[in-house]
Amino acid sequence: MSDVTLTIDGKTVTVPKGTKVVDAAKQVEVDIPVFCYHEKIGPLGCCRMCLVEVEKMPKLMTACTMDVAPDMVVKTVGDKVEKAQKGVLEFTLLNHPLDCPVCDKGGECPLQDNTFKYGPPDTRMEFHRANNVKAAPLSPVITIDRERCIACQRCTAYSERIEQDRGLVMLNRGFHNEVNTFNNEPYDNRFSGNVIDICPVGALTNTDFRFKARTWDLENHDTLCANCGCNCNITLGTRLNEFMRIEARPNDAVDDGWICDKGRWGHHFMESKNKITAARENSVGKTEPTSFPNFPINAPAEQAAEKVIEIFKNIAEEHGPESIGFLGSPYATNEEGYLYQKLFRLLGTNNIDHKSYQDTPGLPIRHFDVEEIENSNIVLLIACDPTEELPILDLRIKKAVSRCGTKLLSLNDQDTALDKYAELKVKYKVGSEASAVDALAEGLARELGESIDFSSDLGPTGISDEDMKSLVEAVRSSMKICVVYNPAALSGDTSLRVKRLLSVIARIPTIECGAIPAAPATNAVGAVDMGLLPDFYPGGVPVSDSEKVKELWGENAPTKPGLSASEMIAKAKSGDLKALWIHRSNPVVDFPGGEQVVEALKNLDLLVVHDMLETETTQLAKIVLPSNGPGFDEGTTTNIGGRVQARRKALEANSIDDWKLIQVMLKKLGDESSYSRVAKVLNEISQKVPGYQEINSRFVGKQGCNREQVAGEEVSPGNVESAASSNGKLQLRVATYLFAHDKILDASSKLAYHFKPSSAFLNESDAGKIGVSNGDRVSISGNGTEMEAEVTIDNRCMEGGVVVPRISDEQGVNGLGNPDGSPAWVDIKKA
Amino acid sequence: MTQILFKDINKEGLHTMKVYEGLGGYQSLKKAFAQKPEEIVEAVKASGLRGRGGAGFPTGLKWSFLAKDVFPRYLCCNADESEPGTCKDRELLLKNPHLLIEGMILCSYACRIETGYIYFRGEFQDLSFIMDKALDEARAKGYLGKNILGSGFDLDIHTHLGAGAYICGEESALLNSLEGGRGEPRMKPPFPAVEGLYSKPTVINNVETLCAVPYIVSEGADKYAALGTEKSKGTKLVSVSGHVKKPGNYEIEMGTPTSELIYNLAGGIQNDNKLKAFIPGGSSVPMLPADKVDTPYDYESLAEAGTMLGSGALIVIDDSINIVEATLRLISFYMHESCGKCTPCREGTRWLHQIVERIMQNKGQLEYITRLEDICDNMAFKTFCPLADACVAPVVSSIKYFRADYEEYFKNVPAGAAS
Ligand SMILES: Cc1cc2nc3c(=O)[nH]c(=O)nc-3n(C[C@H](O)[C@H](O)[C@H](O)COP(=O)(O)O)c2cc1C
Ligand code: SF4
Ligand code: SF4
Ligand code: SF4
Ligand code: FES
């Protein structure tokens, strides 16, 4: 786009064509007051606060709606403008209640600020100010004060243009207009809370924060949301070491200025009564391990940890290092993950993992930052449901499609909310993702005229030849493609197949391409990067590369591939694995296998769980250690776009920081490194982790920075195994539901109103065969487990499959899955 | 006087196809289809026809602004006629629906449009039924539908009823309403000619504007341009209301003196009272005092006199009326009709109303008059659409010409004794 030069208050500024005058002014530090204008929402022209004088224009113009033009001369001062500003402010305040002394917005209110700077000193209003409703709930978490609303329409425009479902609308007209919902339905979509941040007055208030604190009494901490892999930037306000509220902290590269409601209201787990606050010993487990000394009651966590790690060392010495294992956390910080893998590799084992699905570090093409979605002309989603899994990605994709001309393609086994934005949606049968991905790769390879060493079969996928052809064509003809795939929703080794597909795409000469591995967990990318893997050291260094491993990690570093999480569980069951350490993970409900996982864990000589909340897994642990978790911890996480950002401490905890606790244990094992601050761990990461060379705490700053591409050797997938005959069973697809009733959103959560009953989404024809109709209760069984659900017939998936969203921990849907992560078959019967 | 739109207006059964065709209706189509669409646009330009909805924008020029090569395009006929005093479109729609259809067909052909809408104000339900019937007749005759009269040109026209909001007469609010959205004006640019209905190039014209097109096509642009003044060509329907003996719609040649309308056509002032003031172009334009009654009724002369031709509604006010009271009534209309989108209009209209009301309760102070002017100044030309300017017009002009009427209220109020 060409540039335009203009002058504003005598200052010359050059900006891209299409820039609004109000934004151009910012660049030369000229302040034009606004109420309704919001850069991300776009111009509205409602409030008239931004009137400026433009040479050759007879009237004053609104700087927010006006595009810059060459040689334009703008004046933001002078009698004419100042009179208009005073006039507009007088109108705005005419019926405003001026209850600043009790208003949540007081102290950070654009209306206060603009009035102070540009307003008339007094008012000529001599009539009773209009009265209106002071506290009307728009949803359980948002309360509107109608008297304070200045009808700027930011919120309703946000609803229309950003979240795009017109949940919030203007009703009635003129002086009687009001922000409300259709038919008084609650305003309760996934992104509702952002209207609180953008409301320029105290009209839209956070019900949870209402009247809790004056804004100037808040301590604001710039940190990150820890609820999903987007890692949205937030400001966490505290007062007297108590949690007060969360607000968005705009970062274009990550969240584009928005957060989801789970990010805003899903942080009350920090004060949960299930919080683990001290180390303890449970009277569980098989027999007392012989070398296990009595655990002193009320021992501080560091003492306990020192003791326990010694026992791990003893077990490793006694039974060999293969007999111990570590299950790390995709929710923990990079520093914690890094130190933990260091600790266990020091114990001589590579039995390290953090997930129940297969994944490898690195990508054969560029790792795109989330922002790249906007300037890709094609976005291909594979097995992704961003709305539920990574909510802010949903907004970004909508923005790309509706404003940037991006076309959306989707390859998935279930329908998702974003489908209506998709140019092409190709649906494969549940469990057939391997064939579907291979078919796309093969189709593209053929277009390239490449000889290929794998063959694909569309048969099991249920995809028609034409659909696959259109998909191949759409990908092939793209100029810039961003592939977003969710490794956690891919069974077996399909994520390796996706990587093979990516390398084929990379070979198409005309395409600029990149990918985003979009697993939902907070630090799923960081956990892989930090080497919480049985076959890779941090930075994608394969354990088999003994030269490199020894160079980075010393002569004794183990180079034999370790056990994956599911293998560790299997070995625990068989008794080969004696001791397992789990950091912030709850495999009993979150991993497939259910009862089998429980049995395996029970069979261990020693299970240590280091977690922040009590879980089904902590109940099985011999030793429980307290972890502080988000809000209390500090360190970095790497989001789905590969951006490393700082999570900061907002609240003081009683327990020792996780990274310090690991350091105590490292010391105990003779490790000599000492970290005075968590930043020192990051320093070490930048030295030891390929891809993180440029990362240090200063560089990460407030907005984070991208790591270099993490290398990774391509692992070839095997042949697709043909599925066993179904025998009337259905393939299970466990879908993600954002507001699941789990440990994070417990019953006391502000978001409890989103909780849903268990349901099974069936295809019409399967429902017919089973003989159930909408609303029927069914029992679903598989893998020796059974659960109940209510039937919804809506063809969300194709015949032969069933979609069951994970709606709570109690529901236990993962228990139906196979512990090895292969596609699971279930039986469905009328209950 | 030459009658174009009202030539046969009182003919029995004019609203039926039979009578309309019998009087030469739809004859212009054949003539039009023999020409290239662009030639019709040129003819309308040459005729000097200007928009009769209020702004007086040259119609042919508007048609030529349509975004090039973007299809589909739409035609929206503005039949929202809500401006107080205005009822000319109503008479055309009631008595001569086929004239509008014919005009819309010509416009659509000229602009390569295949879908037209007639947006009626909510209260015009009866008229929309008449129009639906007329449209059916036109379809049956092949004047609408596929391949009209073998020209290869397709067109259909639909009627749509608003929900009763003055602002929906404003063209971009009309589009929002037609799309099923909230009746609020849109930002311009983009103008409707570039991004209008469903974001496609759209022509929006007033009923009267479109009804003038058949004459231009069948009789020639020159003949139309020969009527009226140099810059205001053709004829104009004027709705005369207020204190006249024969209120109603009159078709005049542009440039006819206003006094002719009041004293001749409309039969003079009721009860033989004296003329006090008149609002020449609908409630949205400034009023003028009686001594300007000879101002020729055309765009330029009225502008020179400090007012506007607007929608062509001449509201006559005799000397029995207190101007402050009349002004309050007008403010109350705009207060009620403000869409509420922008602050000065939403708040200002109400404030003006509160102040004038208080003046009339003898509770004000002299200073209120300057305050009113100042508030008007803070509103005028600072809002999103011209509705606020329309509210300001009667207030400012009434103070300008009839200050004494205001001062009357303060006679018995000691200075400084505010409420
Ligand atoms: C507040 C407001 C109300 C309007 N109401 C009407 C109306 O009722 N009918 C109409 O034809 N034009 C109305 N207009 C003018 C339209 O915006 C538009 O200019 C007109 O329909 C264009 O048609 P024309 O060029 O044929 O006049 C209104 C304008 C404003 C600002
Ligand atoms: S509630 Fe707030 S954001 Fe919404 S219109 Fe009112 S002032 Fe604006
Ligand atoms: S999208 Fe994810 S990171 Fe962002 S606020 Fe929501 S849960 Fe938090
Ligand atoms: S001037 Fe009045 S009618 Fe026009 S947009 Fe503003 S509030 Fe609505
Ligand atoms: S900021 Fe420009 S009109 Fe509101």
From the list B353, B365, B373, the residue with the least C-alpha distance to B407 is B365
Atom of ligand 4 nearest to the CA of B346: 7
- Any idea which architecture B235-318 has in CATH? Roll (3.10)
pLDDT at position A716 is 80
> Whole-angstrom Cα distance, residue A366 to residue A22?
36
Nearest-CA residue for ligand 3 atom 5 is A263
Tell whether B370 is within 8 A of chain A (Cβ). Answer: no
Which of chain A's residues have a Cβ under 8 Å away from the Cβ of B167? 173
Read off the pLDDT of residues A515-529 as tens digits, 9 standing for 90 and up.
999 999 999 999 999
Nearest-CA residue for ligand 4 atom 6 is B342
Helix, strand, or coil (residue B203): strand
Helices (H), B212-342: 213-219, 221-225, 258-259, 299-304, 323-337
> Whole-angstrom Cα distance, residue A572 to residue A703?
42
User: Using alpha carbons only, how large is chain A's radius of gyration in Å?
Assistant: 28
Tell whether the model's pLDDT for residue A288 goes beyond 80. no
Which of chain A's residues have a Cβ under 8 Å away from the Cβ of B182? 169-170
Which of chain B's residues have a Cβ under 8 Å away from the Cβ of A174? 335-340, 346, 349-350
> Whole-angstrom Cα distance, residue B340 to residue A47?
10
The confidence band for A291, taking pLDDT boundaries of 50, 70 and 90, is very low
Q: Is the peptide bond before B214 cis (omega within 30 degrees of 0)?
A: no
pLDDT at position A287 is 46
Place of tokens 């009225």: B302
CB A537 within 8 A of CB A553: yes
Q: How far is CA B131 from CA A186, A541, B160, in A?
A: 41, 78, 11
What DSSP string describes A369-380?
Answer: -GGGGGG-SEEE
Query: Could you tell me the distance, in angstroms and rounded to a whole number, from the CA of residue A406 to the centre of ligand 3?
Result: 23
Tokens of B397: 């002009």
* Class of the CATH domain delimited by A730-830: mainly beta
> Whole-angstrom Cα distance, residue A67 to residue B186?
16
Tell whether the model's pLDDT for residue A720 goes beyond 80. no
Cβ contact B339–A87 (<8 Å): no
Cβ contact A91–B343 (<8 Å): yes
pLDDT at position A1 is 65
CA angle B130, B138, B153 (to 5 degrees): 135
Tokens of B338: 């403000």
Cβ contact B344–A48 (<8 Å): yes
The 10 Å Cβ neighbour count of residue B272 is 8
CATH of A280-355+526-637+649-682, one of 3.40.50.800, 3.40.50.740, 3.20.20.10, 3.40.50.720: 3.40.50.740
Nearest-CA residue for ligand 1 atom 5 is B169
> Whole-angstrom Cα distance, residue A608 to residue B134?
84
Tell whether B163 is within 8 A of chain A (Cβ). Answer: no
Cβ contact B343–A88 (<8 Å): yes
The model's pTM: 0.95
CB A791 within 8 A of CB A773: yes
Helix, strand, or coil (residue A570): helix
A50 lines ligand 5 (CB under 6 A): yes
Place of tokens 């009822």: B87
Tell whether B348 is within 8 A of chain A (Cβ). Answer: yes
Tell whether A128 is within 8 A of chain B (Cβ). Answer: no
Range A538-572 burial, b when 16+ CB lie within 10 A, else e: bbbbbbebeebbeebbeeebbbeebbbbbbbbbbb
**Pairing mode, strands A730-741 and A825-830:** antiparallel
The confidence band for A455, taking pLDDT boundaries of 50, 70 and 90, is confident
CB A530 within 8 A of CB A659: no
Read off the pLDDT of residues A229-258 as tens digits, 9 standing for 90 and up.
999 999 999 999 999 999 999 999 999 999
Instruction: Give the residue range(s) of CATH 3.10.20.740 domains in chain A.
Output: 3-77
Which of chain B's residues have a Cβ under 8 Å away from the Cβ of A172? 340
> Whole-angstrom Cα distance, residue A666 to residue A606?
19
**Residue ranges of A 715-734 with Cβ closer than 8 A to chain B:** none
Reply yes or no on domain B323-410 having CATH 1.10.10.10: no
pLDDT at position B416 is 54
Query: Could you tell me the distance, in angstroms and rounded to a whole number, from the CA of residue B250 to the centre of ligand 5?
Result: 43
E-state strands within A18-122:
51-54, 61-62, 73-75
Query: Could you tell me the distance, in angstroms and rounded to a whole number, from the CA of residue A441 to the centre of ligand 5?
Result: 50
Query: Could you tell me the distance, in angstroms and rounded to a whole number, from the CA of residue A617 to the centre of ligand 5?
Result: 54
Query: Could you tell me the distance, in angstroms and rounded to a whole number, from the CA of residue A391 to the centre of ligand 3?
Result: 6
CATH of A367-517, one of 3.40.50.720, 3.10.20.740, 3.40.50.300, 3.40.228.10: 3.40.228.10
Mutate to test the pocket of ligand 1, among B171, B341, B387 (most ligand atoms within 8 A of CB): B171
Cβ contact B343–A176 (<8 Å): no
Ligand 1 pocket by C-beta < 6 Å: which residues? Answer: B 51-55, 57, 78, 80-83, 167, 169-171, 204-206, 209, 385-387
Q: Which residue of B has its CA nearest to A42?
A: B187
Of B167, B346, B375, the CB nearest to A175: B346
Give the bridge partners for A786, in sequence order: A781
Helix, strand, or coil (residue A259): coil
Helix, strand, or coil (residue B288): strand
Of A51, A174, A177, the CB nearest to B335: A174
How many Å separate Cα A379 from the centre of its chain?
18
Tell whether A48 is within 8 A of chain B (Cβ). Answer: yes
Cβ contact B351–A125 (<8 Å): yes
CATH of B17-225, one of 3.40.50.720, 3.40.50.880, 3.40.50.11540, 3.40.50.12780: 3.40.50.11540
Q: Residue A446 contacts by C-beta under 8 Å, 6 or more apart in sequence? A: A452
Tokens of A531: 């080497």
Instruction: Give the residue range(s) of CATH 2.40.40.20 domains in chain A.
Output: 730-830
pLDDT at position B357 is 97
For chain A, percent of residues with pLDDT exceeding 90:
89
CB A507 within 8 A of CB A679: no
Q: Which of B166, B343, B357, B376 to mutate to test the interface with A (most CBs of A within 10 A)?
A: B343
Of A43, A124, A172, the CB nearest to B187: A43
List the CATH code of the domain at A3-77: 3.10.20.740
Backbone angles phi, psi at B301, to 5 degrees: -65, -40
> Whole-angstrom Cα distance, residue A354 to residue A533?
7
- State the fold for domain A130-271: Alpha-Beta Plaits (3.30.70)
Q: Which residue of A has its CA nearest to B337?
A: A174
Give the bridge partners for A410, in sequence order: A381, A425
Tell whether B356 is within 8 A of chain A (Cβ). Answer: no
The 10 Å Cβ neighbour count of residue A715 is 14
Cβ contact B347–A169 (<8 Å): no
CB A565 within 8 A of CB A533: no
Per-residue pLDDT of chain B (419 residues; tens, 9 = 90+): 789 999 999 999 999 999 999 999 999 999 999 999 999 999 999 999 999 999 999 999 999 999 999 999 999 999 999 999 999 999 999 999 999 999 999 999 999 999 999 999 999 999 999 999 999 999 999 999 999 999 999 999 999 999 999 999 999 999 999 999 999 999 999 999 999 999 999 999 999 999 999 999 999 999 999 999 999 999 999 999 999 999 999 999 999 999 999 999 999 999 989 999 999 999 999 999 999 999 999 999 999 999 999 999 999 999 999 999 999 999 999 999 999 999 999 999 999 999 999 999 999 899 999 999 999 999 999 999 999 999 999 999 999 999 999 999 988 665 555 44
> Whole-angstrom Cα distance, residue B122 to residue A172?
16
Eight-class DSSP state of B263: I
From the list A434, A452, A468, the residue with the least C-alpha distance to A503 is A452
Which of chain A's residues have a Cβ under 8 Å away from the Cβ of B378? 83-84, 87-88, 90-91
Sequence letter at residue B274: K
Backbone angles phi, psi at B353, to 5 degrees: -60, -45
CA angle A308, A313, A317 (to 5 degrees): 145
Q: Residue A825 contacts by C-beta under 8 Å, 6 or more apart in sequence? A: A724, A726, A727, A729, A730, A731, A732, A782
Cβ contact A88–B371 (<8 Å): no
CB B314 within 8 A of CB B294: no
**Residue ranges of A 168-187 with Cβ closer than 8 A to chain B:** 169-170, 172-177
> Whole-angstrom Cα distance, residue A195 to residue A105?
13
Tell whether A81 is within 8 A of chain B (Cβ). Answer: no
Cβ contact A92–B348 (<8 Å): no
Sequence letter at residue B124: F
Tell whether B165 is within 8 A of chain A (Cβ). Answer: yes
Tokens of B288: 């003028």
Give the bridge partners for B204, in sequence order: B76
Read off the pLDDT of residues A125-182 as tens digits, 9 standing for 90 and up.
999 999 999 999 999 999 999 999 999 999 999 999 999 999 999 999 999 999 999 9
Q: How far is CA A127 from CA A111, A131, A150, A174, A389, in A?
A: 21, 12, 18, 18, 52
Cα of first residue to Cα of last residue in chain A, in angstroms, is 63
**Residue ranges of B 379-418 with Cβ closer than 8 A to chain A:** 379, 381-384, 418
From the list A58, A57, A13, A16, the residue with the least C-alpha distance to A32 is A13
Average pLDDT along chain A? 94
Q: How far is CA B139 from CA B76, B100, B118, in A?
A: 18, 14, 16
> To the nearest whole angstrom, how far is the Cα of A749 from the nearest Cα of chain B?
36
